Chains A and B, each alone.
Chain A
Amino acid sequence: MDARFWLLQLFNGVSYGALLFLLGSGLSLIFGVMRIVNLAHGTFFLLAGYVGLAVISGTGSWWLAIPAAALAIALLGVAMERLFLRPLGSEPLRQVLLTFGFVLLIQQATLDIWGGSNFEINPPAALMHSLVLGGLYLPLYRIFIIAVAAAIGVLLSLVLDRTRAGAVVRATVDDAQMARGVGIDTSRVSMLTFGLGALLAGLGGVIGGAFLGIYPGLDFEILPLAFAVVIIGGMGSLAGAAIGAIVVGLADNFGKVLFPQASYFTLYAPLVLLLAIRPTGLFGRE
């Protein structure tokens, strides 16, 4: 276990964190704007993987699969919000259970269409190489994930901080009632946020399909990690989601290496402490 080993683990942790950022940032926005615990978020991720797979087998283009699957999931999210979540008003518990109903429906649908076997998405050959850096072999694909997550993060934070639409979202996160009071259509904000969150999850699903694989049960394996990201970062905070994602990515990776018998415990126990001390997360605002 030399320095190179630890550097590689660090790199793996950060790249896993980048993937979790795609998943967690959307969940965090949904959480912040709508106060919904979306249990279907991991299932969006998984479904996107399957859709991406179908697009690849249909068109042969991996580059097309990413936007196509992400858009499909975004549409699904918008429909779900409009038709089912919105009519419930603000009843968090019932909304949670409703999203779980969709988990079951989508799981069964994917099982019917794609069966129970494990799939893997093969990225284009150009991304299959490794970058050799100071004796370290860094898979290009993981660098690609980090780049995508960074680009999305920068883009989202520019939109949130610099545009009117972003200001509207931030206002809704801070105080939805007040936002309505000044004439913001929070219902539309909710719909678009849910769609955006689903889109990001979809993006993550296709991209993550290459190194996590695609299989039944993946959705609920990754969902608690996405929640961990949101908890650490605080709901509705993009910067928080970024830091939370890297922390969870590193904690997951190093936990498995250092304390294999207690690796998930070492991830969730600090979360409990954090929540108890600062329920709104590191960057969340009450």
Chain B
Amino acid sequence: MKGHRKPLAVLALLFAVAVLTPHTTPFVLLLVTRILILAILAMSLDLLLGFTGIASLGHAAFLGLGAYMTAILAVRYNFGLGWGFPLVILFGSLLGAATAALFGLFALRARGVYFLMITLALSQCVWGLAYRWDSLTGGDNGLNLPGRPVLGVIRLGNDTAFFYLVFACFAVSLLALYLFVQSPFGKSLVGIREHEVRMRILGYNTWLHKYIVFVVSGAFGGLAGVLWAHVSSEVSPDDVTLATSVDVLLMVVLGGPGTLFGGVVGAAIVVFLREYLSTLVPWWQYVLGGAYVLAILYLPDGVLSIFRQRPPPLAAGPVSAEALTPSPGPGDELKINQGGIE
């Protein structure tokens, strides 16, 4: 069936990535590792943006919280570099969720452009602490981790081992988020995106729905942060800046909001341009900037929409009853509605 083809294609692609990546160069291995980590972050933002229709301009806060927590535990308390690391992953997710639970109380009072502003202000709070609270965070210089964790015989200092850990986290996140958006709860989120007032009239507590999805999103953001701290063994206030938040937004919009996997594609493109192209040419930022402008102007539904089949014209075949019903075409289900941002 058509409904099963997409997940199968994704599975095949993931399998290929898992098998092939370790056989490439060490540079590509780290590049793909970064892509997978930021893909977790992008997917978590897609929950908000693509599925619920609320755009956050502060998602870097959760990445930063997870990353700084990991670094502070490692540097100041020497924790999480051995068998404590699974706990750090758990704590990072919980910290992301808890912070989102706090932030959500404030942020979800605002809507539209004001939601953008309040999430920006919230993430600037986190950035301000990271930048200024030297005694804890190392201030402008950030923190250098002593190395990646060692779990018995598994040394994550080995890039291949770390890649597989990240890959496992990514795969679990993808699956969990997929099940989440496929659940009745996920469907009601889409309902909120399409028409919040209607959902409220139907008796849904839309605030609670948005609050829960914000917390879940924060949890995955925190998870991405934990992994991010270990990818280059350093964290700095740059990880928490507005620019990072905008980059994550672009990943989602570039890949196609409301598709989950689009965030992965977007992360791949943005990381490739930022990290790989910058090693080749000094003017890489023109390409990244150009990608922003062109993608926004010409690919409103994201890169994935290029591969999506257009519905066949009615005249091409016998007219079925299905074709006559005004059901939404495949293009519509992925269309992002920014009704919340007016």
- Residues in chain A within 8 A of chain B (CB atoms): 31, 35, 37, 39, 84, 87-88, 90-94, 96-98, 100-105, 107-108, 111-112, 220, 223-224, 227-228, 230-231, 235, 260-265, 267-269, 271-273, 275-277, 279-280
Within 8 A of A (CB), among B234-256: 241-243, 246, 249-250, 253
Complex alpha-carbon distance, A19 and B14, angstroms: 51
Q: Which of A105, A111, A112, A224 sits near B120, CB closer than 8 Å?
A: A224
Within residues 102 to 155 of chain B, which ones have a CB less than 8 A from any CB in chain A? 105-107, 109-114, 116-118, 120-122, 124-125, 127-129, 131-135
B residues engaging A (CB < 8 A)? Answer: 49, 55, 57, 105-107, 109-114, 116-118, 120-122, 124-125, 127-129, 131-135, 241-243, 246, 249-250, 253, 283, 285-286, 288-293, 296-297, 300, 338, 341-342
Which residue of chain B has its CB nearest to the CB of A90?
B342
Separation of A265 and B127 alpha carbons in the complex (Å): 8
Q: A227-B117, A231-B117 are in contact. Are A112 and B283 (CB under 8 A)?
A: yes
B293 touches A261 (CB 8 A): no
Q: Is the CB of A102 within 8 A of B117?
A: no
A276 touching B109 in the complex, CB below 8 Å, given contacts A93-B253, A97-B249, A268-B124: yes
What residues of chain B lie closer than 8 Å to A267, measured between beta carbons? Answer: 128
B132 CB contacts on chain A under 8 angstroms: 260-265
In Å, the complex CA distance between A223 and B127 comes to: 14
- A98-B288 contact, Cβ under 8 Å, with A231-B121, A265-B128: no
> Are B250 and A97 within 8 A (Cβ)?
yes
Residue contacts A-B, CB under 8 angstroms, 13 given: A39-B242, A39-B246, A94-B300, A96-B57, A96-B116, A103-B289, A104-B289, A220-B243, A227-B121, A267-B128, A268-B124, A276-B107, A276-B118
CB pair A37–B116 under 8 Å, yes or no, is yes
The reply to whether A105 and B124 contact each other, CB–CB distance below 8 Å, is no
CB distance from A241 to the nearest CB of B (A): 14
> Roughly how many angstroms separate A269 CA and B129 CA in the complex, as a whole number?
11
Q: Which residues of B contact A231 (CB under 8 A)?
A: 117, 121
Q: Which residue of B lies closest to A231 (CB)?
A: B117
Selected contact of B283 from candidates A108, A223, A235, A260, CB within 8 Å: A108
Complex Cα distance A102/B129, Å?
A: 29
A251 to B134, CA, bound (A): 20
B289 touches A108 (CB 8 A): yes
